[in-house]
Amino acid sequence: MKRTLKRIFICGLIAILVVVATISIIIGLTYLFSNKVKFDINKIKYSSTYVEMYDKNNCPIKDENIGANFVKLNTLNDYTPQAFISIEDKDFYNHNGLNYKRMISAMIKNITSFKIKEGASTITQQLIKNTHLTNEKTFTRKINEIVLAKELEKNLTKDQILEYYLNIIYFGDNCYGIENASMHYFSKNAKNLTLAESATLAGMIKSPNSYSPIKNVEKTTQRRNVVLNEMLKDGIINFDVYNDAKNTKLETNITPLANNSLNSYSLACLDEASEILNMPIKQIAIGEFKIYTYYDKEKQENLSSSLSYYANNQDYAGISISTDGHIEAYEGNSKIKLLSAKRQPGSAIKPILVYAPALNENIISPLTQINDEKIDINGYSPSNINNTYNGYVSVRESVSKSLNIPAVKVLSYVGTEKAKSYAKKCGISFDEKDSNLSLALGGMTFGTTLKELTGAYSIFPNLGKFYEPKFINYITDKNGKIVYRNITNPINVLREDSAYLMTDMLKTCAKQGTGRKLGDLEFEVATKTGTVGQTHNTDAYNIAYTSSDIVGIWIGNVDNKKIDTVGGGKPTDIVKNYMQNIYDLNKPKNFDKPTSIYYENVDQLSLADEHVVYKANNYIPEKYITREIFSKFNPPKEKSNKFISCKPPTLTGKIEDDKAVLEFEAQDYLIYELYKIEDNKEQLLSVVANKKGLCTQTFNINKKTKYFIITKIKNYADNTEIISDKSNLVELMPINNTNLIKPKNDKWYF
C-alpha cells in the first residue's frame, strides 16, 4: 500500500514539474519575443480587403477581389456568437487572451511529438493569427501569437474582440465575415440566422472546405450537431431546443457573391496563392503580398463576352490556357465556385483516357477498323446516341463522330489501369472506384474540373508534354522580394507521333465531326465535344486547341437541371466566337508535325472486305487506294495481295433461239474483253467495264463460230493488261445436237 502511494506521489510530482516547466517556458519565451513583434490595432480595425494583382504585362488588374460587410455584435441573436464561443473558446469571457490549461495540454503533445499538432488557440489568438501572422506551424509563430494576443486584450474589450472576429473569420467560397457567409449560404442577413444555421456556420470555420454545406451536406450536418451539443452542455440551450435544431434538415439557399466574384479570374488567383503560400487569403491581403499573373486583358474580355452572349440563363465556365500552361483568361457563372467543382466529363475525356493511350501503346492507328455494334461486356452494355450502330468504322471516324462503342472497345484493349496511368500524368485524378469500362464515356465517381480537363489537352499541341496550368507567374512580399515563381517542368506523357496522330483526328472532328462548326476557321484547330445526360442533358463541353492556345467551355447546371444544348452546340459556338476574335489579326501557326509521322497508301478493298489495314501494292488502281497518316513505330505490317493474283471468272453459256448467251461474275475494278473465234480468227464482241456481279452477254452465232473467249482482262483505273490468255474457251457444240455451250477447259493460267 505504501509503495503504491509512493508511486502515485512521484507521478504527481513529475506532472506538477512538467506543468511548472511548461508555464516557465511560456513566460520565458513570451518575455524573449515581446520586443520582436509589433501589435497594430489598425490591422484589425481597418483590415485590408484588397490584394494587388498584375497582368502578364505587369499592369494592375482592377478588380475588388475580397469583399466584407461589417455587422455589429448587438444586432445578432444571442445564440449566434455563443455558437462560436461554445465550439471554439468556452472560456472566452474568463481568460485574458490565453487558455493556459488548453495550452499546456497542447504543448505537451507538441513537445513529445516534436511537431506543432495542437493549437489550443482562443478566439483572441485566432483574430491575431488572421490579421497579423502567417499560417505556418512553428513555435516562433505560436509565441508571436501569444504575445500579440495579450496586447490585443489590453486594447479591446471582449465584445469588440468577438465582433471583429466574427467579421474577419473565413467561411469558404470567398466569404469573409458572418454577414457575407449568411447572405451567401442562406440568402439572409446574419441577424436573421436560426440556431441551426448559426451552428452550421460556427462548425464550418474549423475547415471551410471540408464542412461546406454545398459540397458535403452529411458531413456538415454532423459537425453542426457537434456545435449544438456543446451549446447544450454549456447551458446555452435546453434539450428541447437542442433536439429541434438537431433534427432540422440542413438546407442552403445560395446567393452568388456580388459582381460574380466567386468565379472570377482574381479569386482563382487568390485561391492558387493561398495554396502556394499556405495561408488564408485574408492574410495575403494583410501581408501586402503582390500577385503577378498570366492575365491577358484582351482574351479575358473576349471570353467574357462570348460566354455571356451564348450561355446566358445557365451555369457556365470558360478557361483559356496557353500551350505552355499559362491560364490567361477564366470566368464562370454559378452559385458555387466552379474552379474546384467536379463534373462528369462525358466524351471530352475520350482523347485523354482512351485513344491517346491506345496510340502510344501501338494498339491502334487512325485507320484501324472497329465494329460499332451492340455489345455486352460482363453485364455492361453501353449504347450509341439514338441506339444507332454503324458496323465497321475507322478510329478516325469514331473520334470525329464521338461513337461510344468503339471507345469502350479501345479502352478494353488498353486496360483501365494503364489508361488511367496516362490520364493521371496529365492532371486527371480518379476515385478508387473508377475502375470499369464506363470510364471511356466519362463515367467517373466524382468527375473532373474544367481546369484539369482543359489543361490535360496540352499534351497534344506540345507533342506529348504536359504543362500544369497555373494562374500565377510569381508573388512578391511587401518589400518586393520574390517569394514564389512558377517554374515550368513539363512531364513527358506520350511519344511525339502519338500526340500528333490524336491532333490530326481531332482536326477531322473540327472539320466534319461533332465540332464541325469550327470547320470554316482560317487556321488549324482541333476539338472534342462532350455531352452528359441520360434522361436529359446536364453538361455540355467543347475543348479546342490551336498551336498556341487551349480553350475549355462548359455549360450546365450544378443542380443537374436540363440544359438546352449539346457539346457541338453552344459550347462550340463560344469557342468559335472566342477564337475568331483573338486570332483576328494574328493567326496561329500550323501544328508541328514530327519526323516520325508519314503517309501511307492503303488497300481500300481489303479495308472494306476484310477490315484489315494493308499497304497498297503497285498494282492496285488509284481509285481503290486510301491515303492515311501513320507512326513509323506502328505502320501497317503487311502488303496487300490484291491484283497481284486474282481469280478470273468462269465463262459459261447456252444457246437460246440460235443465240449464244454467255455469263460470268464481273468485278467493277476490271475490264473484260470478250471475243469469238471463227476460222481460227479472233473477233472482239464486247468490252465489259465498271460492272459488278453477274454479267450476261448475248450474241448471234453461226456454224463457223467455234469458240467464245475472254482473252484480256485489264485494270479499270489505268487500262493495264493483267491477263492475256487463250485457254479459257467456251466451245460451241453443233447446233443440231444440243443447245448447250460447254467450257473447253476449266482452268485459267497466268
625, 670: one domain: no
**Angle at alpha carbon of residue 674, lines to 672 and 678, rounded to 5°:** 160
Helices (H), 98-238: 100-113, 123-132, 139-155, 158-168, 178-186, 195-204, 217-233
Is residue 556 in some structural domain?
Answer: no
Residues 92 and 26 in one domain: no
In three-state secondary structure terms, 719 is: coil
In a domain? residue 275: no
Residue with cell 465463262: 651
Q: Is residue 695 part of a domain?
A: yes
514 domain-assigned: no
Q: Which pTM does this prediction carry? A: 0.74
Dihedral pair phi/psi, residue 308, rounded to 5°: -65, -30
- CA gap 284, 657 in Å, rounded: 104
Segments of the chain with pLDDT less than 70: 1-37, 46-49, 63-68, 103-120, 134-137, 139, 257-261, 645-647, 703-707, 710-712, 714-750
Amino acid in position 679 = D
Predicted pLDDT at 704 = 67
Q: In the chain, how many domains are there?
A: 5
If asked whether residues 73 and 164 sit together in one domain, one would say: yes
* 164 part of a folded domain: yes
Single residue among 422, 448, 474 that ends a domain in this structure: 448
Q: Using the structure block, give the residue that is written with the C-alpha cell 489505268.
A: 718
> 168 and 248 share a domain?
yes
- Among 234, 256, 278, the domain-final residue is 256
pLDDT reported for residue 369:
96
Same domain, 3 and 94: no
What pLDDT was estimated at residue 734? 44
Residue 563 within a domain: no
Per-residue DSSP letter, 337: -
Please list the alpha-helical segments (H only) found in 337-401: 350, 356-360, 395-400
Q: Is residue 553 part of a domain?
A: no
Three-class DSSP category at 192: helix
Residues recorded for the chain? 750
What is the rounded distance in angstroms from the CA atom of residue 414 to the CA atom of residue 287? 51
Q: In angstroms, rounded to a whole number, what is the distance separating the alpha carbons of residues 338 and 49?
A: 22
Beta-bridge mates of residue 466? 491
**Helix, strand, coil % (nearest 5) of the chain?**
40, 20, 40
Three cell numbers, residue 32: 524573449
Q: Does one domain contain both 101 and 213?
A: yes
For residues 404 and 196, give the distance between their C-alpha atoms in angstroms, rounded to a whole number.
47
Mark whether 606 and 686 lie in a shared domain.
Answer: no
Q: CATH number for the domain including 682?
A: 2.60.40
- In this structure, the answer to whether residues 240 and 105 fall within a common structural domain is yes
What is the longest distance spanned by two Cα atoms in the chain?
A: 143
Are 212 and 148 in a shared domain? yes
252 and 109: one domain? Answer: yes
CATH number, domain of 215, equals: 1.10.3810.10
Beta bridge pairs of residue 380: 377
Last residue of a domain, one of 256, 283, 316: 256
Are the C-beta atoms of 471 and 486 separated by less than 8 Å? Answer: no
The CATH code of the domain that includes 429 is: 3.40.710.10
Q: What is the pLDDT of residue 530?
A: 96
Long-range contacts of 488-492 (CB under 8 A, 24+ apart): 488/324, 488/325, 490/325, 490/462, 490/465, 490/466, 491/425, 491/426, 491/465, 491/466, 492/464, 492/465, 492/466
212, three cell numbers: 461546406
Burial class (CB in 10 A: 0-12, 13-18, 19+), 609: exposed
206 in a domain, yes or no?
A: yes
How many other CB atoms are there within 10 angstroms of residue 436's CB atom? Answer: 13
Dist CA 492 CA 467 (whole Å): 9
Residue numbers of the domain that contains 621: 597-631
Cell numbers placing 717: 483505273
Contacts of 384 (CB under 8 A, 6+ apart): 372, 403, 404, 405
Sign of the torsion angle spanned by Cα atoms 654, 656, 662, 665? negative
C-alpha cell at 578: 472566342
Q: Are residues 620 and 712 in the same domain?
A: no
**Residue 402 Ramachandran class (φ > 0 left, ψ -120 to 50 alpha, else beta):** left
Report the DSSP beta bridge partners of residue 660: 655, 699
- Picking from 504, 426, 424, 421, the residue whose alpha carbon sits closest to that of residue 464 is 426
User: What pLDDT, on a 0 to 100 scale, did the predictor assign at position 22?
Assistant: 58
* pLDDT at res. 716: 59
Determine the Cα angle at 488 with ends 484 and 494, to 5°: 150
Q: Is 103 in the same domain as 188? A: yes
